Amino acid sequence: MSNLDRQAALSVCGGRGFVVPEPVRELLAPRHVRLGESTEVRRLLPNLGRRMVGAWAFVDHYGPDDIADEPGMQVPPHPHMGLQTVSWLHEGEVLHRDSLGSLETIRPRELGLMTSGRAISHSEESPRSHAALLHGAQLWVALPDAHRTVEPHFQHHKDLPTVTAPGLTATVILGTLDGATSPGTAYTPIVGADLALSSGAEARLPLDPDFEYAVLSMSGEAEVDGVPVLPGSMLYLGCGRTELPLRAVSDAGLMLLGGEPFEEEIVMWWNFVGRTQDDIARAREDWMNGDRFGAVRGYDGAPLPAPALPAVPLKPRGRVR
């Protein structure tokens, strides 16, 4: 999924100096962003006070939207570099096309994982004949320097491992949780899991104390470490936890995101992750005037033009703690 912001700002993310080393309960409110004609997303990362969680650098939550009489998601071809995109649905379908020739329909609880590496472009759209509801999340994972120019590739995994407890099913999307490991390729110590809780369920999820974590609420009412987390909001949890108490007030859907704090500082702008402002400027120029990102065949529409780069040079960001 693209960042369609036409006033996209350059931002510095990552670095251990911005990680909270102990357990905290920091509730993050979303920013509402229009995505195409009929989709509005709630953007949780990057956030004013929190840029990354482990290698997770971008989190959008959308829906549930009634698109029965609407085109649904319509994101034209656009570029990515230096990151992985993670597509995750609770309802609906998304048709993925990319410049490698991939053509896949992603359905609920299936992993669509695109590793951009040095360069890729793709489009995302609701199929012409689509379900009435669309509900999901789109996330980006920053690639470490050793792998940020890896050859681009796309993975589609229909069957993912699960961890279960009374009233809880955790589907492992990326990385490892409680000994269960996703087949999706990961380049840093990371975890992403979809948590389905039954009404009244109480559970304690095992965590790695060296990871930092956050929980995104997708649906229903639940408490995370005693904090009510409503759909479309995210609770940042810091590091140093060995378990996470969960309680479902109703049937609820959550996403657990975590990972080893990202060592490197990165520069993120529009749909690119680099290390310097020059990296970003070259990528923009290559998208607008070159063939580095390839072409998406079969999409009915023009590619997405890049916004203008900010005229003011990037300034180092202040520490949040």
pLDDT, tens digit (0-9, with 9 covering 90-100), for 81-129: 999 999 999 999 999 999 999 999 999 999 999 999 999 999 999 999 9
Asked if 253 and 216 count as a contact pair (C-beta separation under 8 A), the reply is no
Q: Two tokens at 312? A: 């003011």
Q: Two tokens at 237? A: 């949890």
Q: Which of 305, 220, 208, 297 is nearest to 255 (CA)?
A: 220
Q: What is the pLDDT of residue 9?
A: 67
Q: What is the pLDDT of residue 90?
A: 98
First-to-last C-alpha distance (Å) of the chain: 31
- Specify the pTM: 0.93
- Please count the residues of the chain: 321
Distance between CA 211 and CA 127 in Å, rounded? 38
Distance between CA 200 and CA 313 in Å, rounded? 52
How far CA 269 is from CA of 3, 39, 77, 236, 265, in Å, comes to 9, 22, 17, 23, 13
